[in-house]
């Protein structure tokens, strides 16, 4: 029973089995260091049984402590790699909706909120006008160009959907581009309320029997500071077939 308790293979087996399943394959690169510990343990075990067992226990404990530190380090490294994969652009996080077939980036720190009529909304809790929202409407059209040219569609959408009827709106520019054969309209506008102005960007497209609208923006007073981030958000919006 004592020989089983002091067996180097027990310590080594416990160390390997304590690794998370997805990390065990990575343990191969460290075999040399573990083999050294095992050999040292075996060499020390040539003394008397009582002394050997006591020393091996201490060595085994040191080995397990070292192993635990190693596991912690490699687990953190693995978590960091997963975080990096999710954070595809510095300062942004990604959203992918596989059911409705779209994806986009939003600034790190914005929080998801639920708003009736919107499929997805993220916003800054301190600056509530800084937000991004995605809206989906069923349509029988197959291409955004079926609704008309970019400027005409943008002006109609701004006045009837994207801004309250009591706000003054101004379309600054509208353009068309393609991503993987799908046409997108992107436009910039300002909506003037009695006590504030919101500077916004939108991108729209048609696919999967839906009219997709992503809109992001900020208070006019913060536009110069936020415009690059907001352009990254609107440019990141892509639609996939589902």
User: What secondary structure does DSSP assign to 99-114, as a single string?
Assistant: TTTEEEEEETT-EEE-
The mean pLDDT value for 178-203 works out to 96
pLDDT level of residue 89 (50, 70, 90 thresholds): confident
To the question of pTM greater than 0.75 for the whole model, the response is no
Three-state secondary structure string covering 153-172? HHHHHHHHHHCCCCCEEEEE
- pLDDT at site 60: 54
Report the mean per-residue pLDDT for the chain: 77
Residue 88 has pLDDT above 60, yes or no: yes
CA gap 166, 147 in Å, rounded: 25
Residue 22 has pLDDT above 70, yes or no: no
pLDDT level of residue 23 (50, 70, 90 thresholds): very low
pLDDT level of residue 206 (50, 70, 90 thresholds): very high
* Portion of the chain with pLDDT greater than 90, in percent: 63
């Amino acid at each position: 029973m004592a020989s089983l308790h002091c067996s180097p293979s027990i310590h080594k087996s416990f160390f390997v089995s304590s690794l998370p399943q997805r990390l065990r394959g990575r343990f191969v690169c460290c075999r040399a260091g573990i083999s050294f510990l095992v050999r040292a343990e075996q060499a020390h075990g040539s003394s008397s049984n009582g002394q050997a067992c006591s020393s091996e226990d201490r060595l085994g404990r040191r080995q397990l402590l070292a192993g635990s530190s190693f596991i912690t380090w490699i687990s953190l490294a693995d978590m960091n790699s997963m975080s990096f994969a999710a954070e595809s652009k510095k300062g942004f996080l990604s959203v992918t909706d596989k059911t409705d077939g779209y994806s986009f980036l939003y600034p790190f720190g914005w929080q998801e909120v639920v708003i009736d009529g919107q499929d997805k909304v993220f916003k800054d809790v301190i600056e509530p006008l800084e937000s991004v929202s995605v809206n989906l409407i069923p349509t029988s059209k197959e291409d955004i160009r079926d609704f008309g040219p970019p400027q005409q569609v943008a002006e109609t959408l701004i006045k009837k959907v994207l801004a309250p009827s009591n706000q003054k709106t101004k379309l600054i520019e509208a353009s068309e581009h393609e991503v993987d054969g799908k046409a997108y309209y992107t436009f910039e506008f300002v909506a003037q309320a009695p006590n504030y102005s919101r500077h916004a960007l939108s991108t729209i497209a048609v696919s999967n029997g839906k009219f997709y609208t992503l809109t992001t923006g900020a208070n006019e007073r913060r536009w110069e500071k936020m415009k690059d981030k907001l352009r990254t958000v609107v440019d990141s919006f892509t639609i996939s077939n589902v």
